[in-house]
Amino acid sequence: MEEKKLDLNSIIGFILIAGILVYMLYQNRPTPEEVEAQEKAKQEQVEADKKADEIKDEFVATPAEFSAASVTDSVQLATLKNRIGAFAYSASLASAQDEFTILENDVLYIKVNNKGGYFSEVKLKQFVNYDSVPIYLIKDHNAIFNINFGTTDGRTLNTKDLYFQPSLTKSGDNQILSMKLKVSETQYLEYRYELKPNDYMLGFSVKTQGLNTIINSSQDVRLDWKLKGLRHSKSITYENRYTRLTYQHENGEKISKLSQAGEDEEVEQDVSWLSYRQHFFSSILLSDKPFKTASLKTTNLAIDEEIDTVFTKSFAASIPLQLNGGELNESLSMYYGPTDGKILKQYDVGLEESIPYGWGLFGWINKHLFIPLFGFLSGFLPYGMAIIVMTILVRLVLSPVLYKSYLSQAKMKILKPEITELSKKYKDNPMKKQKETMALYSKAGASPMSGCLPALVQLPVFYALFMFFPTAFELRQKSFLWAEDLSSYDTIAELPFRIPIYGDHVSLFPILASIAIFFYMKMTTGQQAASQPTQEGMPDMGKMMKYMIYFSPIMMLFFFNNYASGLSLYYFISNLITIGIMLVIKNYILDEDKIHAQIQVNKQKPKKQGKFQRKMAEMMEKAEEQKKQQQKRKK
C-alpha cells in the first residue's frame, strides 16, 4: 500500500490559505468608534435587565412583551404595564415556557406543564396495553383543562394559554403542587394538587385570591375539560362498546350515561362526578358540592376497525363555576386509574356505579352474587379455572329449574295425542277446544306455561353473566390455555382478509361454544317439537325449531369472535354442563312410563279449580254464549 505523504504543492496551498485568512481578519477588525459603541450598548442592556427585574413582581407579561430588549426606560415600562392591564398573560418571565413538574407515587406518574397548569402526561405505572406499551391516559395533547373568564378591562382569558408558577412541597408522605397564575404576590389564581402514596385519586382545588376586582362577575366563569380516549385493547370496536361518559347527578340519586355509539350530548343538573370511562381505565372529575349544571358531550372516533385508530371516543364537559364574593373556591378531586370495582368502591362516593354491571335486577345479581363469588374463587384458583368452577356452581344451582322444564316437556309430549284429538274434534269450535284443552291440562297436572317459566327464571342469570365477564377487571391480561387475555378475544389463526362482523382472525372458544350450543339446542328443540300438538292452520313448529338449531350457533360464532374469551369460555362450559344434566335427567331420573301412569291417576282425581281457573272458564263460557247469540241473529 502506497504511503501518503505531504508534498510541496500541499504545503504551499496551506500557507496561501492561512495568509488569506489573516489578511481578512485584519481588514475586518472593528474601529475604535465601533468598539466604544459596543461597550455602550452592553451597559444599556445591563441597565434594562435591572429595571425589568425591579418591576417583575409588580405585573406579568408575555415573554415577547416582557423582553428586556423592548424595555429601555421607565416611560416604556409604564406604557407596557397600562397596555397589558391588571391580569397577566403569564406567571413570570422565568416560568413562561414549557417546563414541567413531576408528581409521582407507586401507581401514578404525572407530568404537569407550566403552561395551563395541567397535566401533559398521566401514566399508570402498573399496567401495559395489548402491545406491552405503558398505559397513558393523557399524552400527546389529548387532554385540555381550561378555565375561561372575562376581566374588568374587557378581555377574555383562558388558563390553558397562560403560564403558571409551580411550587412543589411535601406534607408528610403527601406531595403538594401549587400552580399559581400571578398578578402579584397577593393576587393570583391557584391550582393545588395533592398526591398521596399508592393512590389513584388526587386532591385538587381551584381558588383565587385578590381577583374580585379583576374577574368580571357579570360573565360566566367556565371550566372546560376535554379528553380523547387513547386506545388500549386489541379490538377497538370491543373496547369502544364499553367506553362511555358516565355521571352521577340529582344529588347522588341517579347514574346516567351518554350514548355508546355516534354522538350524544346532554345538559344535566347537580352533577356530583363525571367519568370518562375507557372500558378498563377511567378519568374522573369529582366535586365536594355538586356542579349546578354541566354540558356533556361525547363523539365516537373509532368508525372502522380496519383503520389503525389511535383514539376511541372524545369526551367534553363544560361547567359554569360559581363566584363567592367575586372569588373562586372549588374543592375537587381527580381520579386516573383502573375501572376496577374494588378500587373505586374504596372512595365511598359511588364511583363503582360507573361500571356497566347491568340495570335493575341484573346489576343486583352481579354486585351481590357473581362478583363476590368470583372474587372468592379467583383468590385461590387460576382465573380460567375460577370461571369454570363458577359456571359449574351456577348450573348446579339452576338444575332444579332445568328439571322442571324437562318434566313439563315430557308431560306435554305424553298429552300430545289427546290434545291433537281435541283439536280435530272441536276444529269448528275454537272456544270449546280451548276449554277442553285447559281442562285436560288441569286434570293431568301439566301446563304449557310451566315449560316457559324455567327459561324466564334463568334469563336474569344469563344476562347478568353476559354483563359480568366483559367488565371484570380481574380478567384483564390473564391467560388460560391458548387464550392470552381472558378479557379480549383469543386467536388461533390470523386471516389475510376481514370478514364483515366476524373479523380478521379465528377465535377457538366461540367455535367450541357454538358446537356446544348446537347440540344443546338439538336436544331441547327436539323435545319441544315432540311435545307440541299439531294444529291445522298453524305453522309447523318442528320446522321452525330446526332452523333455530343452526341459526343460534352461527350467530354465536360470528358475534362472539371479537368478544372476551372469558365470556365464550363460560358459554362453552355452561352448555356442556347443561347437556350433561339433561342426559342424566332423561336417562336416570325421568321415566316416561311412570309419568304417563301418574297423569292417568291425576285425571281420575276430582280437580278443584282455583279462583283464576274458574274466572277463565266463566269468561270462555260467556264468550261462547255471545258467539252463539251472534250466529242466531245472522240466521
Strand-pairing partners, residue 267, are 295
pLDDT in tens, 550-576: 788 888 888 888 888 898 999 899 889
- No. of helices (H) and no. of strands (E), the chain: 16, 19
The total of other beta-carbon atoms located within 10 Å of residue 572's CB is: 24
Type of residue numbered 49? D
pLDDT given for residue 512 in this prediction: 93
The contacts of residue 434 (CB under 8 Å, 6+ apart) are 620
pLDDT digits (tens, 9 = 90+) for 162-171: 999 999 999 8
> Given pLDDT bands bounded at 50, 70 and 90, which one contains residue 544?
low
pLDDT score of 626 more than 80: no
Phi, psi of 298 (to 5 degrees): -140, 145
Return left, alpha or beta for 141; rule: phi > 0 is left, psi -120 to 50 is alpha, else beta: left
DSSP category for residue 90: B
Which range among 268-277, 331-340, 623-632 shows the weakest confidence by mean pLDDT? 623-632
- For residue 519, pLDDT beyond 90: no
pLDDT tens column, 402-459: 777 777 777 777 777 777 777 777 766 667 677 767 766 666 666 666 656 666 777 8
Q: In which band, very low, low, confident or very high, does the pLDDT at 32 lie, cut at 50, 70 and 90?
A: low
Predicted pLDDT of residue 458: 76
End-to-end CA distance of the chain: 131
- Using the Cα atoms of residue 375, residue 377, residue 383 and residue 389 in order, give the sign of their dihedral: negative
Residue written as grid cell 347522588: 252
Which tens digit of pLDDT belongs to each residue from 178-201? 999 988 888 899 999 999 999 999
Q: Which of 303-312, 349-358, 571-580 has the lowest mean pLDDT?
A: 303-312
pLDDT more than 90, % of the chain? 29
- Write the pLDDT tens digit of every residue in 582-598: 888 777 776 666 666 66
Cβ contacts of 456 within 8 Å, gap of 6 or more:
none
Task: Return the closest-CA partner of residue 149 out of 164, 162, 136, 165.
Answer: 162
Sorting pLDDT into bands at 50, 70 and 90, what band is 144? Answer: very high
pLDDT given at position 70: 39
615/24 Cα distance (integer angstroms): 121
Provide the whole-model pTM.
0.74
For residue 180, the cross-strand partners are: 165, 190
Instruction: Please report the pLDDT score of residue 3 as a whole number.
Output: 40
Residue 210 clears pLDDT 70, i.e. is over it = yes
Q: Of residues 243 and 42, which shows the higher confidence score?
A: 243
Please determine, for residue 349, whether its predicted confidence score (pLDDT) is greater than 70: yes
Residues 206, 332 contacting (CB under 8 angstroms): yes
pLDDT score of 423 = 73
pLDDT over 60 at 89, yes or no: no
Tens digits of residue pLDDT in 38-71: 666 566 655 655 654 554 444 344 444 433 333 3
Q: Is 334 in a helix, a strand, or coil?
A: strand
Instruction: State the average pLDDT over residues 125-135.
Output: 90
- Phi, psi of 380, deg, nearest 5: -135, 0
d(CA 635, CA 633): 5
